[in-house]
Amino acid sequence: MDETGFFNYMKEKKKPTDTINSYINRVKRFEQYLFDTKIRKSIGELTIQDLQDFVDWSKSNKINAYLELFGIREYYRFLENKLLSYACNQIMQMIQLEKFKLKNFMTVNQEHAKSLAKIGIKTASQILDVGRNKKEREVLAESSKVPIEEILKFVKIANLARCPGHMKKRACLYFEVGLDTFDKIAAQNPEEMIAFLDDFIKKTGFDGSAPILADAKSSIENSKRILRIIEF
């Protein structure tokens, strides 16, 4: 790695020296992993699957993959590798969803969330794993006794939460206004979307706020790039 260049880059971003050194150590561990596992690629030549394999390896070795990716993501930003820095963001978001409880999505039916929890489906990550297509959702509806349309709602909100910045309220807001897939969000004009969301919030009393312009643009751009893993 270009340790000096990375250090200076992070200094320009006003990061404390201790934080920078922790990021450097994480990148070094990642490079050591690449060497030890004989992937035979440089850090800039990886794929999102290579990064996911590192996460799986980290978990099996009781290493906090989320924290490791913090440093790795910053190094990709230093390298101006937008593809892999974005891939890090995506994987970090999925790690967060492994702990995010379905009941914490503010607009879902809590009794249905309890029914899903009784059969072991408690988190956003879990419902995405078992509800990726219509057949799987039908099986889940049958086993949980939750109506199929409610299963679809849980899946759609959890799917929207895969996008950075959508974790809790915003995923629910987008779903409630009908922007319930990434394709729909990707097709939006940011200014028009903000006005639409703001109008919905005023009319319904939704407990949240419309995104600012930068966040709206980010949602739209992320929605264009994010992997489609759910069949509707």
Is the CB of residue 76 less than 8 Å from the CB of residue 31?
A: no
DSSP state of 229: -
- 90: tokens are 């995506």
Cα(182)–Cα(232) distance, integer angstroms: 11
Angle at CA of residue 80, ends 21 and 88, nearest 5°: 70
Q: How many CA atoms lie within 13 A of 156 on its CB side?
A: 24
Specify whether the CB–CB gap between 31 and 10 falls below 8 A. Answer: no
Q: Residue 146: what pLDDT?
A: 97
Residue 81 confidence (pLDDT) = 92
Distance CA 212, CA 208 (A): 12
| Per-block mean pLDDT, blocks of 10 residues, the chain (232 long) | 93 93 94 85 85 91 92 94 88 90 94 97 96 96 97 97 84 95 96 96 92 93 89 90
Yes or no: say if 52 and 91 are a contact pair by the CB < 8 Å rule. yes
What pTM was estimated for this model as a whole? 0.81
Residue 41: its pLDDT value, please?
A: 81
Tokens of 124: 């956003």
Which residues lie below 8 Å from residue 106, measured CB to CB, with a gap of 6+? 168, 169, 172, 207
- DSSP-assigned states of every residue in 2-36: -HHHHHHHHHHTT--HHHHHHHHHHHHHHHHHHHH
Q: How far apart are CA 139 and CA 134, in angstroms?
A: 9
151, 131 Cβ separation under 8 angstroms: yes
